[in-house]
Structure 1
Amino acid sequence: MPDVLEHRAGVPVLVCDPAGPPVATTQDALDLIGAAFLGAEVVAVPADRLDERFFSLGTRFAGEIMQKFVNYRLRLAVVGDISRHLAASAALRALVHESNRADHIWFVPDLDALDDRLRATD
């Protein structure tokens, strides 16, 4: 399935294909942002598409990617099981906790949880 623009909980969301290309560079993130400009407010990226460096905060890759979305006023939802990354990093656990308390970057286990989150922000 290609990346597709869907209305989820009344919000336009670019739902990225789990089998799509990896997000391994800031340009890859900018490509998703460009695709979202077709009308999305949220980009839902499967966690498995994110390069492993995203989950290793010392690389600063996550910060670069997340900042791109904030700069373009798009919300980013990382969708999927990241428990093994969380188990390995207290810093990542703190980032996920703080991100999920705010409105720009969310880490959710699945699209149903994203829908719940979107409904809660209305």
Structure 2
Amino acid sequence: MTTHPNTLETLHGTRVLRCAPDGPLLDGERAALDLIGDAFGQEAELVVVPVERISDEFFRLRSGVAGDVVQKFVNYRLRLAVLGDISAHVAASDALRDFVYESNQGSQLWFVADAAELDERLRT
């Protein structure tokens, strides 16, 4: 398996660290801190993680993984976007559906379906 590096780009004045789809899973505090360190090293403001890199536990809110990950990003004043189709996870959990809805109302954590939606969110 070939691992592609994360890439830094600027979208609508925001420095975005876009994670490669084939990297390590975002599955807890340690993985969050690794991404945060990478983002700080590149002076990114927003980290975009493809849904392929998000552990299933993240989507099971009772596991606490989502809360732990999001709290780390909040503590370090970095924003996080999950990029990709999470409809199957949302359909299986009312709590997750509500969490996604509430997250998307703010600016700290976004769940976006694709790059076009991310671009639109950053444009406004």
Matches of 1:117 and 1:6, distance apart in 2: 15
2:15 is paired with a residue whose SS is strand
AA aligned to 1:59 is S
Is residue 74 of structure 1 aligned with residue 74 of structure 2? no
TM-score, reference length from structure 2:
0.94
Q: Give the corresponding residue for 1:84.
A: 88
Q: Give the corresponding residue for 2:97.
A: 93
Among all aligned residue pairs of Structure 1 and Structure 2, give the percentage whose two residues are the same amino acid.
54
Residue in structure 2 matching 1:103, options 100, 107, 110: 107
Matches of 1:19 and 1:34, distance apart in 2: 18
2:77 is paired with a residue whose SS is coil
AA aligned to 1:22 is L
Shift of 1:64: 0.5
Q: Which runs of 5+ in 2 are unaligned?
A: none
Q: Give the corresponding residue for 1:113.
A: 117
Check conservation: 2:85, 2:113, Cα contact below 8 A: yes
Q: Give the corresponding residue for 2:15.
A: 12
Q: Give the corresponding residue for 1:27.
A: 30
Per-residue Cα deviation, 1:23-57 (whole angstroms, up to 9, x for no partner): 12311110000000021000000111011100000
Q: Which runs of 5+ in 1 are unaligned?
A: none
AA aligned to 2:97 is R
Runs of 4+ in 1 over 6 A off after TM superposition: none
AA aligned to 2:6 is D
AA aligned to 1:17 is A
1:20 is paired with a residue whose SS is coil
Is residue 3 of structure 1 aligned with residue 6 of structure 2? yes
Matches of 2:100 and 2:74, distance apart in 1: 16
Shift of 1:20: 1.1
Q: Give the corresponding residue for 2:54.
A: 50
| Aligned CA-pair RMSD | 0.8
The total of aligned residue pairs comes to: 120
